[in-house]
Amino acid sequence: MLKRPVTAEDLAQLRRERDEADRLYNEALTSLDRALPTAARPSADAVATFDAERLPPLNDRWRVLPTDSLPPARGLRSRLAHFVWDLVRPALERQQAFNSTLVDHLNRNAEAARAPERLHAELARMRDEHAAALATLGTHLIVYLQQVTAYVDTKDRLVAGSLMSVYDALLNALTDEMQKRWESLSVRDVRHYGQLDARMTAVAASHDDIRHVLATLQQATLTLKREMERAPAATAQPGSPPQAGPTPGSLDSYKYVGFEDRFRGSTDEIRARLATYVPLFAGASDVLDVGCGRGELLDLLSGAGVKARGLDLNHEMVELCRDRGLEVAEGDLLSYLESLPDGSLGGLIAIQVAEHLEPSYLMRALETAYHKLRPGSHIVLETINPACWFAFFSSYIRDLTHVRPLHPDTLTYLLTASGFQAVRAEYRSPYPDDGKLQHVAPFDDGTLRDIADTANANVDRLNALLFTHLDYAAIGERR
C-alpha cells in the first residue's frame, strides 16, 4: 500500500482509461445496432393464384341434351328421327351426367383452391408483425444498454461514498512499521508468484496448442496412409485393371474431423447427449443416421438392439466408421433417399445436419423422406438454436460449412408441411445458469429497490434472448 497523494498524472491516466472504455462500449453498441436482423418482404409471386376464368363457360355449356322432347312419330321421317334418337340418347345422357359431376366438382373445389392465396397473405401479415416486434425489441435493447452504464456509475458512486469513511479510518489505523512490512512482502510475492503464474499460463497454453496440432497431425497421417493404400501399386503388371486412388477432396476430409474433435466435443460427451434419442427408435429397424460423423449414435442404437446404418458426405468420417465395423454409406441425403424403395426405412435421424442444407434441397429431402419412411416411424432433426443468440454467434457462425440457420418454428412447420404429424420441438443443451447475466442485489431504499427490480426484469429478458437452449430437435411421426 503506497502512502502518497493522488497526482494529476494519476487522474489523467484514469480519464484516459475511462475514455477508452467509453469508446469501446459505444463501438460495441453501434455494432449491435447494425447487427439487428431485418425481415425481408416475401415475393408476390411466391404463391400462384387460382385461375377461375373457364368456370363460367363450363357452367353454361355442360348440358348436351335438348330441353324439349321430340314430337310424336306420325310419318316415316318422324319415326326415323325417333329411332335415331333412341340410339344416341343413352350415350348423351351418360355424357351429360359426367359433365354435371365434373362441373359440380370444379365449383366445389374452387374455394379450396384459393386457400393458398389467403394463407400466403396471412403468413405475410404474421411476418410483418414479427419483423415489427423484432425491431421494437432491438430498440428496447439498445436503449437498455445505453442506460445501464449510467445506472452502474450511479451505484458505484453510492458505494464509493459509503466506503470513504471506512477507508480513511483504516488508513489512519495502519502504522508505518506494518505498512513497510506489507510493501516488502507484496513486492516479493508479486515478483515470485506473478512470474510463476505467467509461466504456468504460458506452459498450459503451449500444451493446448501442441495437443491440438498433434491430434490434427495424427488424423492427417491416418488419412494419408488410408488413401495411399488405395493408390495404384507401383509393381502392377501391364494390362492389369487400375486400382482405386484417393477420391477428390478425401485428403482434406481429416480437417473437418479435427474440427469436430476440437469444437463439438469428445466421443463420450456426444454419446451422453445422443442417448436420449435412442428410446424413440425402440423396436425399429432400418434406421438411417444422416450425417453420422464418428458413429456415436450408431453405437448407441446397436447397443439397444436397433438395426441402423449411417450416411455421411465426409470421406474420412465414413472411413472411421467402417474401420470400426459400422455400416455407413458415402453420399448426399437426397440422392441416397431417392435410391431407396418407398416405406423401406423404420426411422430417420439427422444430428446437426439441417443447417448445412440449402432451403430448396431441405424441403425436397423432407418430402422424399416422408415417402421412404414406414407408417409409425419417427424423424428427428437436431440443429443449433438460432433463437439463442449465444448459440448463433458462438456455434453457428464458427462452422464454415453452415448454410442457413433454422428457427424452431421454421423447421417444425417444414415437417408439418411435408406430411408428418405430432410434430414438436424439444429444446436441448441449456446454457448453464452460472454463466448467465446475474440479478443485482435488492435495496432497502424504495427508489433503489424499484431501479433494481427494473434492472432484474431486463436481465431476465436478455437472458431469454442471449442464453437459452443451445440446440433443439424437431421431431415428427409418419402415420
**Does residue 59 carry a pLDDT above 70?**
yes
Instruction: Check residue 347 and give its pLDDT.
Output: 98
Position 247 scores a pLDDT of 46
* 196 pLDDT higher than 60: yes
- Residue 333 has a pLDDT of 96
Q: What is the pLDDT of residues 293-304, one digit of tens each?
A: 989 999 999 999
pLDDT at 313 over 60: yes
**Residues, the chain:** 479
* Residue 38 binned pLDDT confidence (cut-offs 50, 70, 90): low
Cα–Cα distances in Å, from 202 out to 152, 189, 198, 199, 262?
35, 19, 6, 5, 20
Mean pLDDT (the chain, rounded): 79
pLDDT at 230 over 60: no
DSSP letter, residue 297: H
| Residue 92 binned pLDDT confidence (cut-offs 50, 70, 90) | confident
**pLDDT single digits (tens) 236-277:** 444 444 444 444 444 455 455 555 555 567 788 889 999 999
Q: Which residues of 350-389 are buried (b: 16+ CB within 10 A; e: fewer)?
A: bbbbbbbbeeeebebbbebbbbbbeeebbbbbbbbbbbbe
More confident residue, 390 or 50: 390
Instruction: Grade residue 133 by pLDDT with cuts at 50, 70 and 90.
Output: confident
- The reported pLDDT for the residue numbered 395 is 79
Round to whole Å and give the CA distance between 139 and 151: 18
Task: Give the pTM.
Answer: 0.49
Q: How confident is the model at residue 228 (pLDDT cuts 50, 70, 90)?
A: low
Percent of the chain, pLDDT > 70? 70
Greatest mean pLDDT among 97-111, 181-195, 247-261, 315-329: 315-329
- C-alpha torsion angle, residues 283, 288, 292, 298 (rounded to 10): 30
Give the SS3 label for residue 77. Answer: helix
Residue 229 has pLDDT above 70, yes or no: no
Give 34's pLDDT tier (boundaries 50, 70, 90). confident
Band of the pLDDT at 139, cuts 50, 70, 90? Answer: confident
What is the per-residue pLDDT for 250?
46
State which fold the 263-478 domain adopts. Rossmann fold (3.40.50)
Range among 34-43, 66-75, 234-243, 324-333 with highest mean pLDDT value = 324-333
Three-class SS of residue 23? helix
